[in-house]
Amino acid sequence: MTMYADIVFLTNAVIDYMLLFLTGHICRQPLRKRRLLFASLVGATYTVFLFFPPLSFAFTFLAKLLFSCLMIMLAFRWTKMWGFVRLLATFYAVSFFIGGGLMAAHAMLEEKSEVVDGIVVTHTGASGPPLTLWFLIIGFSLLWWGVRYGYYSVKASRQVDVQYVQLEVDIFGHTIACRGFIDTGNQLFDPLTRIPVTVMEAEVWKGILPERLLQRLEEEITAFELDMPEEESRWLERLRFIPYRTVSSQTGFLVAIRPDEVRVYANDKTYCINRMLIGLRAVRLSADRSYQAIVHPKGIEERYVIAS
């Protein structure tokens, strides 16, 4: 069997580049083409050892692991130990999945093959470029697309699962509950304290919030314009006025309340947040009434999870 070193080197360089690209994509790493290209070329030099039997030590597990670590470091730089291990594990997972898929497809389609020195050799009668080379290029491309498409499909379905959550707000011994929607584009914070703001429909607060405040939510008000009875004056201490800007560049102030505690229920987890403001809107947030609150993404951070 004739092996062409240039074809083997080029094929492995392309495969390594696509594997590293997919690894960085999954792990959300900066994808710098020059670094990926250099790392893939270094990885492709590993195939040179095939043509030099005295370099058989390179086929040991330790040598392969060190070569993989070198490729990861060249492609994505060193960050932290856990981040590096995550990249390395993802790189191997993607490689095993695509490599296993190619071997399975090849075993189904081959007519005659044998194992020579640990290498599967397929005998074909085709002329021109070897059939196995075209099979490798086409099969790898299809499997690479499948892994990438499958990853984003799973990610999208998971996002749909966590988009809707159950929200509970405690204040003055009352609990206000409603369905919330996680909006990753919600980056509304109190400019002074940097406390995240979750927006709720004021209608949910009926019976708990003072009627005078509910009636004036649509107006441009300040704390000094609120004439509230003495028994309801405690609400004034909890009010905040958050400046905001809409997509159409309109500015205004959002009336917000500082609750005692906020709880978010999502994916069988409970998130407890003590520092979150609740902005009140007199209009409906959802036309189909599928949710009554736009929850700030900070509300589902892992640090707020309550151990069950």
Q: Which residue, of 142, 159, 176, is where some domain finishes?
A: 159
Percent helix / strand / coil, the chain, rounded to 5 = 50, 20, 30
Q: Which residue matches tokens 């695509």?
A: 98
List the chain pLDDT tens, one digit each, 308 residues. 555 666 777 777 888 888 888 888 777 787 888 888 898 888 888 777 766 666 666 667 787 788 888 888 888 877 778 888 888 888 888 888 777 776 766 666 665 555 555 555 555 544 444 445 566 667 767 776 776 666 655 554 454 445 889 999 999 999 999 999 988 777 888 888 889 999 999 889 988 888 777 777 766 554 445 566 666 678 888 888 888 776 555 677 888 999 999 999 988 889 999 999 999 988 888 888 889 999 998 888 878 888 65
Q: 168 with 138, same domain?
A: no
Q: Which residue, of 128, 159, 190, is where some domain finishes?
A: 159
Rounded to an integer, what distance in angstroms lies between the CA atom of residue 8 and that of residue 132? 12
pLDDT of residue 119: 55
Q: 127 with 181, same domain?
A: no
pLDDT of residue 171: 92
Q: 207 with 230, same domain?
A: yes
Domain, as residue range, for 207: 164-306
Burial class (CB in 10 A: 0-12, 13-18, 19+), 239: middle
Rounded to an integer, what distance in angstroms lies between the CA atom of residue 293 and that of residue 204? 9
Q: 122 with 194, same domain?
A: no
DSSP state of 164: E
CA 204 to mean position of chain CA atoms: 32
Q: 207 with 137, same domain?
A: no
190 given a catalytic annotation:
no
pLDDT of residue 148: 66
Q: 245 with 294, same domain?
A: yes
Q: Is the dihedral of CA 127, 106, 102, 99 positive or negative?
A: negative
Q: 52 with 67, same domain?
A: yes
Number of domains in the chain: 2
Q: Which residue, of 110, 136, 159, is where some domain finishes?
A: 159
How many residues are there in the chain? Answer: 308
Contacts of 112 (CB under 8 A, 6+ apart): 122, 123
Q: Give residue 25's identity as a one-letter amino acid code.
A: H
Rounded to an integer, what distance in angstroms lies between the CA atom of residue 155 and that of residue 149? 10
Q: 196 with 152, same domain?
A: no
Distances in whole angstroms, Cα of residue 65 to Cα of each of 68, 117, 237: 5, 21, 61
Q: 148 with 191, same domain?
A: no
Start-to-end Cα distance in the chain = 62
Q: 81 with 180, same domain?
A: no
From the CB of residue 281, how many other CB atoms can be counted at a distance below 10 Å? 18
Q: 174 with 148, same domain?
A: no
Check 16, 183, 190, 260 and give the catalytic one: 183
Q: 91 with 210, same domain?
A: no
